[in-house]
């Protein structure tokens, strides 16, 4: 039986949390493999809402959950999140949570630098969450990061602090800020170390062991392919690779183990922050979709931009990430519309494109070419069978999979875990 890799196939916020939670009940292990606490996954189980950022979504269902080496970890944010979810009755301990000991840490100085840069950028802002994600990844590839394993060796951290502070002190001076307070940083690390170290271990080794024993692994991505640092709408992207291939490097299990790739796709399109958005709606329809879909960021609370479904983008992300099948979410938000539209191409300076060009200026000028379909007045909300869907909703789903050249495996009809229509089983396919 296959492992499953779950990724967002748009700009994030596609409903990955619910789908991963639904799949996690049938998996043995859930692994986060990239991103940081800029991710936001909302789970609704028996009417109770859980909001996660760092913890893998499987933690709520009691599934063994792992944070892989591809994640940048803010240990203080993790402690706060664990405390919050434990207050909701979810147990978090060394038996059900493992953190890769080679995972890089997000430090207070990373948050500082993130905010300083974004404030100074003016019109060049890219919409960062300000949580230090980008600077932490920079230090990782710059070979000056402090990692989880270093928390067990704080008395010998001075050479690493020399490298780290030489870099950050120069940047801080450029913003007219004082140097890093090394003593304060060390004290903060000493205080948080015992909490993090109780979960730390070689995740790659444990994954190898459970996989050899026949365990089914669910790899959980954060953000979406259109925010991938290589393949997204650069520079309005995140600082990591969000494509399915990152599951191998970010977990240590290897590319042959990533299995079925499930792309999560919203039945319309949203994005948070700056950047191109060809199908964006700034009219009453857009307002309606945003209101009905509760389109506010889980992490930032920022209002999401809303638009029609863009088949061009999803076809592109499915190809780039090798998507086997998609989970179509929030189709119930389209209920009651007289007309629904799907973008099937772009016009750019007199030419028609069947893909999104790489340059930001070209992306910003792309005009959507729409195909209109009759909407449906019946309700899809809470449907758990394909037969329960209105005929026009079924036609919409069928047209989506034709245009993106990828089959629909699941349809989500509400935030509740069990309001899900299974058409193809990712674990059995």
- Secondary structure letter of residue 387 according to DSSP: G
Q: Which is the catalytic residue, given 13, 74, 332, 419?
A: 13
The rounded distance, in Å, linking the Cα atoms of 225 and 322 is 11
The answer to whether 312 and 285 have CB atoms below 8 angstroms apart is no
Handedness of CA 64, 24, 325, 360 (dihedral sign): negative
Question: H or E stretch including 363?
Answer: helix 360-365
The alpha carbon of 81 is separated from its chain's Cα centroid by a whole number of angstroms, namely 17
Upper half-sphere CA count for residue 272 (Cβ side, 13 Å) = 21
Q: Which is the catalytic residue, given 41, 110, 167, 231?
A: 41
Handedness of CA 360, 361, 365, 369 (dihedral sign): negative
Decide if 294 is catalytic. Answer: no
Of 172, 170, 128, 167, whose CA–CA distance to 145 is shortest?
Answer: 167
Q: Which two tokens stand for residue 386?
A: 């394909």
What spatial distance separates the first Cα and last Cα of the chain, rounded to whole Å?
A: 8
Decide if 41 is catalytic. Answer: yes
The rounded distance, in Å, linking the Cα atoms of 159 and 147 is 14
The rounded distance, in Å, linking the Cα atoms of 392 and 331 is 12
Q: Which residues pair with 421 in a beta bridge?
A: 411
Residues taking part in catalysis:
13, 41
């Amino acid at each position: 039986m296959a492992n499953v890799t779950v990724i967002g196939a748009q700009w994030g916020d596609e409903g990955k949390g619910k789908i991963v939670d639904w799949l996690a009940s049938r998996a043995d292990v859930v692994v986060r493999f990239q991103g940081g606490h800029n991710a936001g996954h909302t789970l609704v189980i028996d009417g109770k809402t859980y909001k996660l950022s760092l913890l893998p979504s499987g933690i709520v269902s009691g599934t063994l959950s792992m944070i892989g080496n591809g994640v940048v970890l803010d240990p203080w944010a993790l402690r706060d999140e664990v405390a919050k979810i434990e207050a909701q009755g979810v147990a978090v301990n060394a038996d059900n949570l493992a953190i890769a000991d080679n995972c890089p840490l997000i430090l207070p100085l990373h948050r500082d630098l993130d905010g300083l840069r974004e404030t100074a950028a003016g019109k060049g802002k890219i919409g960062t969450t300000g949580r230090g994600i980008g600077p932490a990844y920079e230090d990782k590839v710059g070979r000056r990061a402090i990692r989880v394993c270093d928390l067990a060796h704080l008395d010998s951290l001075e050479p690493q602090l020399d490298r780290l502070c030489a870099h950050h002190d120069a940047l801080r001076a450029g913003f007219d800020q004082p140097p890093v307070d090394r003593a304060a940083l060390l004290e903060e690390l000493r205080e948080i170390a015992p909490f993090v170290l109780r979960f730390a271990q070689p995740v790659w080794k444990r994954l190898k062991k459970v996989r050899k024993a026949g365990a089914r692994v669910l790899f959980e991505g954060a953000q979406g392919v259109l925010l991938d640092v290589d393949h997204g709408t650069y520079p309005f992207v995140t600082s990591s690779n969000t494509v399915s291939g990152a599951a191998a490097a970010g977990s240590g299990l290897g590319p042959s183990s990533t299995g079925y790739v499930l792309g999560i796709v919203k039945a319309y399109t949203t994005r948070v922050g700056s950047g191109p958005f060809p199908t964006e709606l700034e009219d009453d329809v857009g307002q309606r979709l945003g209101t009905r879909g509760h389109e506010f960021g889980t992490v930032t609370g920022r209002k999401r931009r809303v638009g029609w479904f863009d088949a061009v983008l999803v076809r592109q992300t499915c190809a780039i990430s090798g998507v086997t099948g998609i989970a179509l979410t929030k189709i119930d938000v389209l209920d009651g519309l007289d007309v629904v539209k799907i973008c099937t191409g772009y016009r750019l300076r007199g030419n028609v494109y069947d893909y999104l060009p790489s340059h930001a200026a070209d992306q910003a000028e792309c005009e959507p070419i729409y195909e209109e379909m009759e909407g449906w007045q019946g309700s899809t909300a809470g449907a758990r069978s394909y037969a329960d869907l209105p005929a026009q909703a079924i036609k919409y789903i069928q047209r989506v999979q034709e245009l993106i050249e990828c089959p629909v495996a699941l349809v989500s009809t509400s935030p509740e875990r069990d309001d899900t229509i299974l058409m193809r089983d990712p674990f059995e396919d």
